[in-house]
Amino acid sequence: MEIQRGTKFRLYPTPEQASILEEQGHAARGLWNLLHEWWTWGGRHRRPSLKQADEAIRQARKEIDWLTVLPAQAAQQVLKHYTRAWANFWDGRAKPPRFKSRIRSRMVIDVPQGRDLDVTKLSRRWATVKIPKVGVVRFRAHRAIPGRVTGARLVNEANGWHIVFRTTWEQPDPAPHAGPSVGIDRGIAVPLALSDGNHQHHGPWLRPKEAERLLRLERQSARRRRTRVRGEADSKRLTRTYDQIADLRGRAARRRADWQHQTTRRLADTYSLIGVEDLNIAGMTRSARGTVAHPGRNVRAKAGLNRAIQSEAWGQLAEQLTYKTAERGGTIVRVPAPGTSLRCHVCGFITPGSRESQARFVCKNPQCGWAGNADLNAARNIHHAAVRAATAPGSGVAGRGALQPLGGATKRQPKRREPVS
């Protein structure tokens, strides 16, 4: 099987090299915006060809001086990503491409060909890479680069520039995994609830002092934004506050990614079949603000829930589980989400009021009466659906399973009607 992977390292450019990288990053963002303005000119039904777009980029690089700092291959990659964004929109997988602002978009530069990078190992922890129009830049080689390098991407994050090498290699197909099966329920109070009771927990991504400092900086930036004149550049104080906020949030994101990688690798090594919910995360985190005519309810509480869901990065965790499980001969099954938290995993009934609280589930069926943790009940429902999907004849191991209890067909307990007096 062919493995394609991205390996990330921290770059340590000189001040002159960092200045050139920033110029290239802004040029790539500006080229995207120029391309977007040219592409959307003339109405929504205009469909320019790739040849026309390529000619427009070549002409722009001749007429606009600051575009020449960006290598020609990196400019072609901007066109490639832009056309792919439109293809994803036309296929219904994403929103249409839009203007990239200077503040809300991070600087990204693509190096499509790996032969131009010339990676050289200097010592046990240090190596160099040759970047077009920048020169030889050192990076922290904390691990070996697996496989063959086919390209790279330069990304500017809160703690500096990073390089992500695109690598590929061939390896034998893995033998079928011999481990047990499990269902996983992703949540907030319990990050990963497993059907066998082996729940996975983590602490807060920021330490108490760091969380206090982040809150203080956010309030400080809000006060300074009130005095900012619309259309003018940010003051140096406000820019410095933004950088400090980005540094703390980036620190939390790196800790979350580290926990997710370690946890997903441990789960992929242990279990052969993993069932997860097919969640509509974008719909779950949609704002409840509403409109002026029809305002929403509990807007602040919903906003807090949205932040908690986004801080867990459920989609990223599912992607890591998918490729790590496949590399080890296992299978991941995505089951429909409706009903997993309301159905009793023992009897299969859905009765009103069974979910007594966020953490406790009590089956109201008189013949059952199971009581326990609500996340554990949901994880076992997911496990039942994943096993049924994997063992269904003709459906394939990776098929989507019908959400049914293991003991029989799904039933819904009828509501009890009180006599009218």
CA atoms within 13 A on the CB side of 65: 0
- % of residues, the chain, pLDDT over 90: 53
CA 411 to chain centre: 36
Report the chain's mean pLDDT, rounded to a whole number.
86
pLDDT band at 354 (very low <50, low <70, confident <90, very high): confident
Distance from C-alpha of 253 to C-alpha of 210, rounded to nearest angstrom? 13
For residue 258, the model assigns a pLDDT of 94
Check residue 93 and report its DSSP letter: S
Average of per-residue pLDDT across 181-193:
91
Q: In which residue are the tokens 């990076």 written?
A: 139
Q: What is the DSSP string of 111-171?
A: E--GGGT--EE-SSSEEEEEETTTEEEEEE--SPPPSEEEEEEEEEETTEEEEEEEEEEE-
| CA-CA-CA-CA dihedral for 73, 18, 144, 74, to nearest 10 | -10
For residue 233, the model assigns a pLDDT of 80
For residue 318, the model assigns a pLDDT of 92
From 167-181, 186-200, 323-337, 385-399, the region with the lowest mean pLDDT: 385-399
For residue 404, the model assigns a pLDDT of 36
CB 374 within 8 A of CB 312: no
Q: How far is CA 313 from CA 174, 204, 273, 282, 326, in A?
A: 28, 14, 22, 11, 21
What tens digit of pLDDT does each residue of 249-267 get? 999 999 999 999 999 999 9
What tens digit of pLDDT does each residue of 138-172 get? 999 988 998 899 999 999 998 899 999 999 999 88
For residue 44, the model assigns a pLDDT of 65
**257 in helix, strand or coil?**
helix
**193 in helix, strand or coil?**
strand
A 10 A CB-CB count for 325 gives 22
A 10 A CB-CB count for 269 gives 13
Residue 109: burial class (beta carbons within 10 Å; 0-12, 13-18, 19+): buried
CB 363 within 8 A of CB 344: yes
**176 in helix, strand or coil?**
coil
* Stronger pLDDT, 418 or 39, i.e. the higher one: 39
Strand-pairing partners, residue 360, are 373
From 83-92, 195-204, 278-287, the region with the lowest mean pLDDT: 278-287
Residue 253: burial class (beta carbons within 10 Å; 0-12, 13-18, 19+): middle
**Which spans in 281-373 are helix H?**
281-284, 299-312, 314-327
For residue 48, the model assigns a pLDDT of 81
Q: What is the pTM of this model?
A: 0.83
Task: Write out the H or E segment, with its range, that includes residue 383.
Answer: helix 374-391
CA atoms within 13 A on the CB side of 365: 20
Is the per-residue pLDDT at 297 higher than 60?
A: yes
- AA identity, residue 413: Q
For residue 403, the model assigns a pLDDT of 35
For residue 289, the model assigns a pLDDT of 77
From 17-21, 194-198, 285-289, the region with the lowest mean pLDDT: 285-289
CB 23 within 8 A of CB 17: no
Q: How far is CA 160 from CA 41, 210, 362, 381, in A?
A: 36, 20, 51, 44
For residue 408, the model assigns a pLDDT of 35
**279 in helix, strand or coil?**
coil
CB 365 within 8 A of CB 344: yes
Distance from C-alpha of 338 to C-alpha of 20, rounded to nearest angstrom? 51
